[in-house]
Amino acid sequence: MKKKTVLSVVVFIDALGWEVLRDRPFMEKELPYRRKLKSVFGYSSACIPSILTGLMPREHKHWSFFYYSPKTSPFGPLRWLGLLPASIVNRGRVRNAISQLVKKFYKYSGYFQLYNIPFKFIHLFDYCEKSDLFVPGGMNRGKNIFDHLQAASVKYHVSNWRNSEESNLAAARDDIEKGQITFAFLYMASMDALLHNVGKESSQVTDKLKWYEEKLRTLMSVANEKYDEVRLFVCSDHGMATVYKNLNLMGEVEALGLVFGKDYVATYDSTMGRFWFHNAQAKQKIVDFLTSFKGGKILSNEELKRVGCDFEESQYGELIYLMDPGVMIVPSHMGEQPITGMHGYHPDDADSDAVLLSNVEPPASPECITDIFRLIRSETGA
């Protein structure tokens, strides 16, 4: 008797949150099993590694891109760019061009972008995602799902995250039509950018979901012609909150009169300020200020431990100040302009929740995005 052919397909749609899907139709007939998944604290730079490893950020060591580490910083030569006028070196195109040159020079294979870290201080920071997360050996610590697939000799397809969604769909279809793979991981990133720009309430999001429906139905049709059974899973890493307030946390801290690099060091992500201190007086002054600042809260060590972000030697910050949901730091080291949607808030916030949708009941009742890793291992036997 001919052995039954089975293909498992995981479609990752960046930022497809549970609240984004609320009251919107999306493949209900094809994907009747629908679960809300708790995300992990941080941005996609933390969430995707957790999906791919089943580990929390403290374990795989990926979180926010930049962290204070002057001894290991590779960016010393760039500090001299701080002597040039900010009107030149802070332009988006210039920053992007420099980022690409640095990436090529150091042979970084992961996602790399210098964003708006000031060049005069960039020698104080290191960067966490130097390697491609989607290949064996891509993690800072631990094994990812592709390590396990390779070790188990599973024939699989994985998208090139650098390419467009159309290109990734075409590449997945090509491999599926050959009928030789048993697992496919399809990477779809455009929803995240759309939600940042227009927010989750926009009709453009509804239109984008219809586009995904059309493309995935076509892909499933092709797969069903080649395989006896096709098991489809659609998942995400986090949702998206609507931004209703922008606060200049960076400017307020700088107005305290402390010297950056001498008294303290900080990096400002879109939803959190992360601080390292060089003396007790500076720490007390910043703590006092943040305690009274309206718009967020200092996360205790106990809270950081609870959300899996209590890093060894305070790698990503001795103090983390997290903004309230919908409040954004503008300007920040990630960008200078307000946007409509943002993520990276507390994982307990409803807008942080991710999704898992499937045409078969997932095993072991997944509850967190880390469970996607275990689902893939169960599906592939890796």
Q: Residue 3: what pLDDT?
A: 76
Average pLDDT over residues 270-287: 98
Q: Is cis: bond before 136, omega within 30 of 0?
A: no
Whether residue 369 contacts residue 38, with contact meaning beta carbons closer than 8 Å, is answered with yes
Q: Find the DSSP H helices in 145-279.
A: 145-151, 165-178, 190-198, 203-226, 249-254
Percent of the chain scored above 70 by pLDDT?
A: 99
| Tokens encoding 212 | 């995904």
pLDDT classification of 347: cutoffs 50, 70, 90: very high
pTM of the model: 0.96
Q: Residue 4: what pLDDT?
A: 87
Tell me: the pLDDT tens digits for 110-143? 999 999 999 999 999 999 999 999 999 999 999 9
CA distance 188 to 212: 9
pLDDT at 252 over 70: yes
CA distance 39 to 48: 10
CA distance 369 to 48: 9
Average pLDDT, the chain: 96
Domains and CATH numbers, the chain: 6-57+133-241+347-380 (3.40.720.10), 66-127 (no CATH), 244-338 (3.30.1360.180)
**Residue of 275, 287, 297 whose CA lies nearest to 346:** 297
Query: Which is higher by pLDDT, 81 or 38?
Result: 38
Q: Residue 84: what pLDDT?
A: 85
pLDDT at 69 over 70: yes
